[in-house]
Amino acid sequence: LNEGDLIVHHEHGIGKYIGLKNIPLYLNIHECVEIEYYNKDKLFIPVENLDLISRYGDKDNPVSLDKLGSSNWQLRKSVIKDKIKIIAHDLIQIAAERALKKGRIMVPDFDLYENFSSKFEYAETSDQIKAINDVEDDLSSGKPMDRLICGDVGFGKTEISMRAAFIAAMNDYQVIFLCPTTLLANQHYKSFISRFENFNINIKKITRFESRSEKTSIYENIENNSIKIIIGTHALFNHSINFNNLGLLIVDEEQSFGVEQKEKLKKIKSDIHVLTLTATPIPRTLQSSLLGIRDLSIIKTPPIDRLPIKTFLTIFNKTTIRNAILNEIERGGQVFYVSPKIKDLNRIKEKLSKILPKVSCEIVHGRLSGEQLNDIYSSFFENKIKILISTSIIESGLDVSNANTIIIEKPNYFGLSQIYQLRGRVGRSDVQSYAYLVLSDNQILSTEANKRLNVIANLDTLGGGFSLASHDMNIRGTGNLIGSEQSGHVREVGIELYQKLVKDAINETKSQSSVSNDWSPQINIGFSVYIPKEYIPDLQMRLNIYRRISFINSVSKIKEILLELKDRFGNVPEELINLTKLIEIKNLCRISNINKVDMGSKGFTISFRNNRFNNIQKLLNLVSKNSNLLKIRPDNKLLYLKKWTNIDDKINDIIKFLTILSKMQNEKKISNNHQD
């Protein structure tokens, strides 16, 4: 989180992060986050309440700051929550209906399947093995599978889909493999033909490039069950295909399809096995909520011997470009050269021909005919062409293990996820690969564009797509993965809060009770709360520790983080220990529906949120038995009367009393549940 970043307070809306600030309160220091709102109004949020703040996620598009005290934010959030609840209800209903249906039982022939699996030319990673086992179990369970395989670019999702397709075909079922682009369909078709060689399984493809007579023949062979696996784009939907025995649908990057295609997908999906592949990261906060709605297999382990892509952000220089290309070609490799605009491709080709006259290069883009594209791709696959100059048409589907250098011109014209996908065209073997993000020498970037490009340039770990999601909301979001069109919702409330609302809506629908914690009690005790700069000098580190502590919801987790802090930074200072005590009090207040705790010289007062305490009779009995200690005031506040000689005794008494109240509250909930 950097100064000027847009953030969202769950109660007050979109503001601008200014920084951390020490606020003096009754001779003590309390560190707060300073947020600027509309008309330069300021809000100071105590660090224990950082769980109510989330990143907005996008600074490039103009966003209006909310006005403090206005009802506009709460209205917007309420509308989004209602829409998300409908989505969550539909998801759970669909999942429940699928659970009641009988699925086609597909059990592999052991010897044949072992033979097929042994032909995989790489060693499976542990995550791959688990995902394969998950899919095998699903197919043989007798229930319709709905599994999402989530893994970074080049982490082996296709092999999992091939094994599922093989099992289905061996059980005499037909398989659809649906791709968002023609290029990806062609790539998968070639991979399947190669992988299924010698197994006597008829595989065909349908894209916009097949002739009418070819398509007619394919449709007939699908109907008579002689074609077992059909790979294609949404062109598959352009004809009413009568499958003889459809059993499995594999969808690659479902969120890339349009609304119309998704509606057609729903009709196909109803009672067959469905396997979806995606490189879209799923936040950990959503993974647990999706359990029981959609089965997840996550592949985080990179293939053995895979090396991270070395990425450079640089100004265009003939010598740099020439050396980058020659270094690749001299080791027997090939090069991608990408530009965002078709009109620039011929200029690039002329430029490269001058500095590298003996190196063969060709141009590809979406306006070429299918025959032209196939000819050029085939020549590139066969290493007859050394440099492929293209638009972003290659961003998904082109898998050439011999191409290990990519040059991307004007990278600021691409979205962050596009650059990541483009960069993923290289580095698909055990050879060191390189990516050059090339700016023109007179190009002026906005601060935000420069920051984004540096994020991708510095992303040098395998599996980086999963961490990329936390850097930028333009990485493909999570909403589409669970069936919603999310972009408008995200713009209203920000990416992190959107994800939280989705999670809350699913959990509420599952449990049929509210799980929202979009409020925080106000606790005024009278001790200093902050992390001394001398203890943790780095501002971002302090902010990260504050944020982690604010989300703690159990005493055991408090003990864990105190041990970690002592191990990393030394003995924990009193002011930081005070913060952890404050978090324990805050959690007890939330359980007991306490809105405010106010410490005075003669005791403390407790205010209940909306003047509600579920187990009111038991509370009244407690007050009656301890009339010298407890009073209920006319304004419904609970008064605890006592003087303390030291702060530790005061805190311990507060925690003990709030624990009693929280147990009362839970007793009432349990009682109500038994009555239901």
Q: Are strands 295-299 and 146-151 parallel, antiparallel or unpaired?
A: parallel
Task: Return the top range by mean pLDDT from 60-69, 141-150, 395-404, 515-524.
Answer: 141-150
Note the pLDDT of residue 59: 56
Contacts of 464 (CB under 8 A, 6+ apart): 152, 308, 420
As a whole number, the mean pLDDT across the chain is 84
Contact of 275 with 149, CB cutoff 8 Å: yes
CATH architecture of 521-672: Alpha-Beta Complex (3.90)
Indicate if the pLDDT at residue 26 is higher than 90: no
Q: Say if residue 383's pLDDT is above 60.
A: yes
Binned at pLDDT 50, 70 and 90, residue 480 comes out as very low
Give the least confident one: 270-274, 305-309, 316-320: 305-309
Q: Are 532 and 545 in contact (CB under 8 A)?
A: no
Q: Which of 16-25, 215-224, 585-594, 665-674 has the lowest mean pLDDT?
A: 665-674
Q: How far apart are CA 284 and CA 521, in angstroms?
A: 26
Please state the rounded mean pLDDT for residues 297-305: 80
Binning the chain into helix, strand and coil, the percentages to the nearest 5 are: 45, 20, 35
Name the fold adopted by 110-299: Rossmann fold (3.40.50)
For 378-398, letters b (16+ CB in 10 Å) and e give eebbeeebbbbbbbbbbbbbb
Tokens at 428, concatenated: 């698909």
Would you mind telling me the total number of residues written for the chain in this entry? 676
Of residues 56 and 23, more confidence is placed in 23
Instruction: Report which of residues 466 and 388 the model is more confident about.
Output: 388
CATH of 309-461, one of 2.30.30.30, 3.40.50.300, 1.10.10.10, 3.30.70.580: 3.40.50.300
Lowest-pLDDT choice from 281-285, 306-310, 405-409, 521-525: 281-285
* Alpha carbon of residue 410 to chain centroid: 26
pLDDT in tens, 44-64: 999 999 989 988 865 556 688
279's tokens: 């490189």
- Between 351 and 269, residue with greater pLDDT: 351
Residue 288, pLDDT > 60, answer no
Rounded alpha-carbon distances, angstroms, from residue 605 to 35, 183, 373, 625: 29, 68, 75, 18
- The reported pLDDT for the residue numbered 153 is 75
Distance CA 621, CA 630 (A): 11
Question: E strands within 521-668?
Answer: 522-524, 594-600, 603-608, 630-632, 638-641
DSSP string across 7-56: EEETTTEEEEEEEEEEEEETTEEEEEEEEE-GGG-EEEEEGGGGGGEEE-
User: What single string gives the DSSP state of each residue in 247-287?
Assistant: EEEEEESGGGS-HHHHHHHHHHHTTSEEEEEE-----HHHH
Amino acid, single-letter form, for residue 570: G
Q: Which of 58-62, 346-350, 658-662, 669-673 has the weakest average pLDDT?
A: 669-673
Domain layout of the chain by residue ranges: 110-299, 309-461, 521-672
Give the strands of the sheet with 594-600, arranged side by side.
522-524, 594-600, 603-608, 638-641, 630-632
What per-residue confidence (pLDDT) applies to 167? 98
Q: Is the confidence at residue 80, as pLDDT, over 80? A: yes
Residue 534 has pLDDT above 90, yes or no: yes
Matching fold, domains 110-299 and 309-461: yes
Q: Give the C-alpha distances (Å, rounded to integers) separating 615 from 513, 519, 595, 668.
A: 18, 21, 16, 6
Distance separating alpha carbons of residues 109 and 352, to the nearest angstrom: 54
pLDDT at 500: 80
Q: What is the pLDDT of residue 488?
A: 61
